[in-house]
Amino acid sequence: MGLSIAIVGSGPSGFYTAEAVLEKWSDCTVDIVEKLPTPYGLIRYGVAPDHAKTKTVAKSYEKLALDPRVRFFGNVEAGKDVSVAELRERYDAVVLATGCSTDKKLGIRGDDKKGVLGCAAFVNWYNGLPAARDLAPPLDTESVVVVGVGNVAIDVARVLVKTPEEMAATDLMEHAARAIHASPIKQVYMAGRRGPLHAQFTNVELREMGHLKDAAAIVDPAQLPETIPDEAKAEFSDRQLRLIQRNIDTLRDFAKAAPGARKKRVHFVFFANPVEILGGERVTGVRFEKTKMEKGRATGTGEFFEIPCGLVIPAIGYYSLPVPGVPWEGGKAINKDGRIEPGLYCVGWIKRGPSGVIGTNKPDGDEAADQIAADTGGAGKGKPGRAGLEALLAARKVRVVSFADWKRIEAAEVARATPPAPRRKFATVAEMLAALDASGSAAAPARAAAQAD
Ligand SMILES: Cc1cc2nc3c(=O)[nH]c(=O)nc-3n(C[C@H](O)[C@H](O)[C@H](O)COP(=O)(O)OP(=O)(O)OC[C@H]3O[C@@H](n4cnc5c(N)ncnc54)[C@H](O)[C@@H]3O)c2cc1C
């Protein structure tokens, strides 16, 4: 008898797991349980709206979702609509792929002031995650500090300074475009505790900052090393050293380039450890301690400086919230090589924490498939699987959004976009469901059991 497998979460790690198990067992069934009516996790709500090419990876996930052995249960939240224990009763294997959705806090004095917004919240807001719709970030400021020198920090800085024309062919949310483009923001400071050798940007993302229409990238050449020091050569692999060299070269180009007529600035500030958020109720600036690198660590020098700003966006990492009924520690599910316990597995960011690119999640899917193979021998135990979940959700009157339903939502988003924008995303779940109803779907409460698509 074929295995019945439930995957909770439809981001990259969920789909890579689906791919791995479908390849391993031709007779398995795979049900993907997703709390939103929309699939793809951070591909839709994290990846920057102006990076359409990155999002095309979703096409390969769509192929998997359309495999006859796979069923998408959108708008179903594990821990709310169905518990993990209930899934485990019904499936031979349950794989958690729920990602990391919450911001790490700066943990310094003043970080609870109005005007300090985590990057997860901010990115979700401009990308249209329904829960972030009403964030209303205070953009009524000329100056923003983004804490962090990685790709997410760069995404945030770029979206803040790109012109409406540069964003026209993107799926930036309308409410975000209106607010950002009406804001007086002129200066964005990206500040990192460590130096340029330890910055986490990929070179393509960094170089992009040199090609913005109305914003110049500003770098202090004194913060760039002449050559990579021997100490760093011991710390990094050859591949990392090549990337570091490319980044240093790019930063040097920025340092040399004249801003010209561009009115906005993105400043790269290294060796700057934020120690206090300044202001009264609302942020007025950030106080930093200058650092120096010692044995790969940033240590304080006792010298301080301040950057005035009205908005601070820490982009220092994400962590995941516990899924009820799952052992949790340090923002991750407690697991050994992806196995939480026999029958329950985890992949992607809830397994490893928030690191790596989309493709980094792929080996997790392979590993989960191997663990399932080791625990089950590849044979199902005759659990009810899909029929059991459908019956439970129908009894609870959960409105399940199938993959075909999602395609109707997507078609409506594409249809209402103003070219050259590829789509105009719905901002709330209610809008998505209304679009579905308007599209003539047979969707109705308690129709989960009747889903044939
Ligand atoms: C701002 C940002 C930009 C990024 N840009 C890039 C990029 O340009 N290129 C790149 O390669 N990588 C990028 N990444 C990294 C990439 O997005 C991640 O590696 C990847 O999305 C992690 O996959 P995941 O499946 O673990 O989590 P996610 O993508 O977060 O997917 C988790 C899914 O689980 C669902 N879920 C959560 N809880 C439940 C529940 N209880 N029940 C049911 N479903 C649930 C969520 O709704 C979501 O759909 C970016 C990350 C961020 C944060």
Tell me, what CATH number does 277's domain have? 3.50.50.60
Whether 391 and 421 map to the same domain: the answer is yes
Q: Is 13 in the pocket of ligand 1 (CB under 6 A)?
A: yes
Q: Is the CB of 410 under 6 A from ligand 1?
A: no
d(CA 56, CA 41): 13
- Domain residue limits at 125: 102-316
Q: Please tell me the residue having the least CA distance from ligand 1 atom 30.
A: 99
In total, how many domains does the chain have?
2
CA 80 to centroid of ligand 1, rounded, Å: 20
Q: Are residues 218 and 305 in the same domain?
A: yes
Taking the C-alpha atoms of residue 286 and residue 309, their distance in angstroms, rounded to an integer, is 7
Q: How far is CA 135 from CA 117, 125, 160, 181, 280, in A?
A: 9, 7, 16, 17, 21
Q: Which of 299, 316, 333 is the last residue of a domain?
A: 316
197 and 305: one domain? yes
CA-proximal residue: ligand 1, atom 33 (nearest): 9
Same-domain status, 125 and 238: yes
Nearest alpha carbon, ligand 1 atom 27: 99
Centre of ligand 1 to C-alpha 121, Å, is 13
Q: Are residues 75 and 132 in the same domain?
A: no
CA distance 255 to 435: 49
Instruction: Output the tens digit of pLDDT for each of the chain's 453 residues.
Output: 899 999 999 999 999 999 999 999 999 999 999 999 999 999 999 999 999 999 999 999 999 999 999 999 999 999 999 999 999 999 999 999 999 988 988 999 999 999 999 999 999 999 999 999 999 999 999 999 999 999 999 999 999 999 999 999 999 999 999 999 999 999 999 999 999 999 999 999 999 999 999 999 999 999 999 999 888 888 899 999 999 999 999 999 999 999 999 999 999 999 999 999 999 999 999 999 999 998 888 999 999 999 999 999 999 988 888 888 899 998 899 999 999 999 999 999 999 999 889 999 999 999 999 999 999 999 999 999 999 999 999 999 999 999 999 999 999 999 999 999 999 999 999 999 999 999 975 444 434 333 433
Same domain, 386 and 438: yes
Locate the ligand 1 atom nearest the alpha carbon of residue 318 and give its number: 53
> Could you tell me if 430 and 389 lie in one domain?
yes
Same domain? 290 vs 438? no
Does ligand 1 come within 6 angstroms of the Cβ of 10? yes
Å from CA of 32 to ligand 1 middle: 15
If one residue of 31, 47, 152, 364 were mutated to test the ligand 1 pocket, choosing by the most ligand atoms within 8 A of its CB, it would be 47
Residues 86 and 164 in one domain: no
Query: Does 389 lie in the same domain as 307?
Result: no
Residue 49 belongs to domain with CATH number: 3.40.50.720
pTM higher than the cut 0.85: yes
Report the chain's C-alpha Rg in angstroms: 23
Are 124 and 261 part of one and the same domain? yes
* The predicted structure's pLDDT at residue 444: 44
Ligand 1 lined by 365 (C-beta under 6 Å):
no
Ligand 1 center to 15 CA (angstroms): 11
Same domain, 61 and 148: no
